[in-house]
């Protein structure tokens, strides 16, 4: 114990210094001052104060998790956890207090955001001495409370943290929630009672905290086996009712959310269509395709060429051009697959990247300008018509994306556990062993490229019809990167993960408009945190999740068997 205690305090000081350094960074980029008047809970605390203290508290919590004793010893060592939190909070706030030298030295020569407004937030709008004491005391108290939260039983800790996060999230998104719900009649009036002019009312914050806590407590009391049995063991009607409820909500979203959010949903739907296709190529078959946007462009340009009166004397309708676009996309997938059959890994990625750039440069070239429009693109592309109804608004095009997603997701779901799907997964795990077992890798790879190309081409046709135009600049390399990123975020090889990844990667930046010019900074930080916490993705495939947590599962089995797990590092 005598040798362990100093390491705990040194660790606490390091954690406090790191948290304080991050808080200083956020202060000097201007986030704290920018949100200094944006309340989370009206009259109690602002978003600026949350941004100021959150890095310190997060680092304190993660630091305590590393040094915390086992549950059997936690009661006896509770005072050490509390003292560690107090020390880390004090060190972090003391480092943050160094910014107050700006009251005596003009820091704005180097840091333009070291403004009097920032100093007012740091001192809680008090005189310097009193404000400094309040800052140190607040950091110290917050660190100690963080240690106390960690000492709570797992269930109560989870309830508390989720309730607090939901209060912060709802308070931050106050304007968005009020805007979306203003047309809901009496329900909108009820919801508005939770909010003040800025942020939540204190009573509204308490109600949300209690509701989230109660819901979390109820869910934690439901055994996992019981929840799974409702969906698997003869309770199929529950599953179908759930799916019917989700479908009803999706159908009702456009009239409820309005035009702006329908546009966001349409963009998310477009990336879901592309993501499901690339998930087959990358997630199922393990073929890294960085030129995937080429098939999206081929589908869009095919519809444009066949339906635009600018390029065709007898233009087709959208529905007449759709089969041609999908067939050409399929052929393009096969054409790409043939030369790269022997390539793997980085070499395959570079080859497919080249294919994507070739398609974009051909669309830009003057050589094909009479047929593809060159840099001017193609305009007046036909929009889909169902009987007398012309789908020409954002809300109506949303339903076309929804139908396409339903068809594509069903096909991908049926393919995953089919003979072909298992062939793809065998190639992904070990191509040499798969070929030794007699698997025809040529046809399997070509089928993966062709299927993914068809799905991407379908997304391109709807995109072109939605805008009634298509330009080569819309088909750049970053589209392929975004689709690949959403697959990784959602979970490689997971079909539900594609939906979650698209919502996070495409939808989240629009919801983060509350952060104005800082939204991509916040977005990037969230992505980094997400990948650190859930490297397997937000909704991973079972096999992928097992691969990334094999050591944890093995350690758990050994612990159950009574075998002591020793560290691989002899110094530990």
Chain center to CA of 346: 26
Is the pLDDT confidence value at 383 over 80? yes
Whether residue 239 contacts residue 247, with contact meaning beta carbons closer than 8 Å, is answered with no
Most confident among 40-54, 98-112, 274-288, 340-354 (mean pLDDT)? 274-288
Alpha helices by DSSP H, 44-115: 47-67, 71-74, 78-97
- Reference 111, options 26, 19, 53; nearest CA is 26
User: CB of 370 within 8 A of CB of 328?
Assistant: no
User: Where is pLDDT greater, at 188 or 300?
Assistant: 300
At residue 569, does pLDDT exceed 50? no
Give tens-digit pLDDT for 507-558: 888 777 767 678 777 778 777 877 777 778 888 877 766 766 655 555 555 5
- Average pLDDT across the chain, whole number: 83
pLDDT confidence band for 234 (50 / 70 / 90): very low
Q: List C-alpha distances in Å: 121 to 35, 43, 53, 115, 132.
A: 10, 14, 11, 10, 11
In terms of DSSP H, where are the helices of 68-173?
A: 71-74, 78-97, 116-122, 128-151, 154-172
pLDDT score, position 71: 43
pLDDT tens digits along 200-210? 899 989 999 99
Question: Averaged over 105-113, what is the pLDDT?
Answer: 78
pLDDT digits (tens, 9 = 90+) for 297-337: 999 999 999 999 888 778 899 999 999 999 999 999 999 88
* pLDDT value at residue 570: 36
Residue 332 phi, psi (nearest 5): -65, -40
**pLDDT score, position 346:** 84
Residues 64-92, mean pLDDT to the nearest whole number: 73
CA angle 176-180-184, nearest 5°?
A: 145
Instruction: Tell me the per-residue pLDDT of 413-434, one tens digit each, with 9 for 90 and over.
Output: 999 889 999 999 999 888 889 8
pLDDT at 259: 80
What does the pLDDT read at residue 550?
Answer: 58
Over residues 228-233, the mean pLDDT reads 48
Question: What percentage of the chain exceeds 70 in pLDDT?
Answer: 88
CB 539 within 8 A of CB 500: yes
pLDDT confidence of residue 548: 63
| pLDDT attached to residue 68 | 61
Antiparallel, parallel or unpaired: β 378-379 and 469-470: antiparallel
Say what the pLDDT of residue 451 is.
95
Structure tokens at 342: 């022997």
pLDDT at position 411, please? 94
Looking at the predicted structure, is the pLDDT value of residue 70 above 60? no
Between the alpha carbon of residue 276 and those of residues 14, 401, 501, 537, the distances in Å are: 44, 13, 11, 15
Are 382 and 320 in contact by the 8 Å Cβ rule? The answer is: no
Q: How far, CA to CA in Å, does 144 sit from each of 6, 54, 338? A: 19, 14, 63
Domain segments of the chain as ranges: 1-151, 272-511
Calpha distance 444→30 (Å, rounded): 53
Of 133-142, 175-184, 542-551, 563-572, the range with the highest mean pLDDT is 133-142
Does residue 344 register a pLDDT over 90? no
State which H helix or E strand residue 365 sits in. Answer: none
Residue with tokens 């051009």: 321
Question: Tokens representing 394?
Answer: 């954002």
Q: Higher pLDDT residue, 387 or 299?
A: 299
């Amino acid at each position: 114990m005598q040798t362990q205690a100093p390491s705990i305090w040194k660790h606490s000081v390091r954690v406090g210094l790191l948290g304080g350094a991050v808080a200083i960074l956020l202060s000097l980029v201007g986030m704290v001052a920018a949100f200094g008047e944006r309340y989370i809970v009206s009259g109690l605390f602002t978003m600026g104060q949350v941004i100021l203290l959150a890095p310190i508290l997060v680092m304190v919590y993660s630091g305590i998790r590393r040094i915390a004793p086992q549950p059997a010893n936690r009661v006896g060592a509770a005072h050490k956890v509390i003292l560690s939190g107090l020390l880390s909070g004090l060190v972090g706030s003391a480092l943050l207090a160094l910014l107050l030298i700006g009251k005596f030295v003009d820091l704005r020569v180097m840091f333009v955001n070291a403004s009097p407004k920032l100093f007012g937030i740091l001192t809680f709008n008090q005189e310097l001495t009193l404000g400094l004491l309040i800052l140190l005391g607040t950091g110290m108290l917050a660190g100690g409370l963080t240690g106390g939260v960690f000492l709570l039983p797992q269930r109560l800790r989870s309830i508390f943290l989720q309730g607090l996060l939901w209060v912060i999230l709802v308070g931050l998104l106050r304007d968005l929630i009020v805007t979306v719900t203003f047309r809901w009649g009496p329900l909108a009036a009820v919801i508005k009672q939770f909010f003040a002019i800025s942020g939540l009312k204190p009573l509204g914050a308490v109600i949300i905290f209690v509701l989230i806590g109660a819901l979390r407590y109820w869910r934690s009391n439901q055994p996992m086996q019981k929840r799974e049995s409702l969906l698997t063991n003869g309770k199929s009607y529950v599953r179908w009712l759930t799916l019917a409820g989700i479908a009803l909500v999706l159908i009702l979203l456009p009239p409820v959310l309005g035009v702006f959010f329908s546009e966001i949903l349409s963009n998310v739907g477009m990336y879901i269509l592309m993501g499901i296709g690339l998930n087959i190529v990358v997630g199922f078959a393990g073929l890294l395709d960085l030129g995937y946007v080429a098939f999206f462009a081929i589908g869009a340009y095919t519809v444009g060429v066949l339906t635009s009166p600018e390029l065709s004397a007898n233009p087709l309708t959208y529905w007449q051009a759709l089969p041609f676009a999908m067939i050409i996309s399929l052929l393009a997938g096969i054409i790409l697959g043939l030369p790269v059959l022997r390539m793997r890994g980085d070499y395959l990625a570079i080859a497919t990247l080249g294919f994507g750039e070739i398609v974009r440069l051909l669309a830009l070239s003057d050589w094909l300008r009479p047929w593809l429009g060159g840099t001017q693109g193609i305009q007046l592309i036909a929009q889909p018509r169902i009987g007398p109804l012309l789908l020409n608004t954002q809300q109506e095009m949303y339903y076309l994306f929804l139908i396409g997603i339903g068809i594509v997701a069903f096909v991908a779901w049926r393919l995953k556990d089919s003979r072909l799907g298992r062939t793809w997964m065998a190639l992904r795990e070990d191509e040499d062993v798969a070929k030794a077992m007699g698997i025809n890798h040529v046809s399997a790879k070509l089928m993966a490229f062709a299927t993914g190309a068809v799905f991407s081409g379908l997304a391109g046709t709807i995109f072109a019809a939605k805008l009634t135009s298509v330009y080569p600049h819309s088909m750049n390399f970053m589209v392929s990167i975004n689709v690949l990123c959403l697959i990784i975020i959602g979970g490689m090889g997971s079909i539900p993960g594609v939906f979650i990844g698209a919502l996070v990667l495409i939808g989240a930046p629009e919801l983060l408009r509350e952060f104005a010019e800082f939204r991509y900074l916040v977005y990037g930080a969230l992505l980094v945190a997400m990948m650190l916490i859930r490297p397997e993705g937000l909704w991973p495939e079972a096999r992928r999740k097992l691969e990334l947590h094999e050591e944890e599962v093995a350690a758990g089995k050994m612990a159950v068997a009574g075998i002591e797990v020793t560290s691989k590092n002899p110094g530990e």
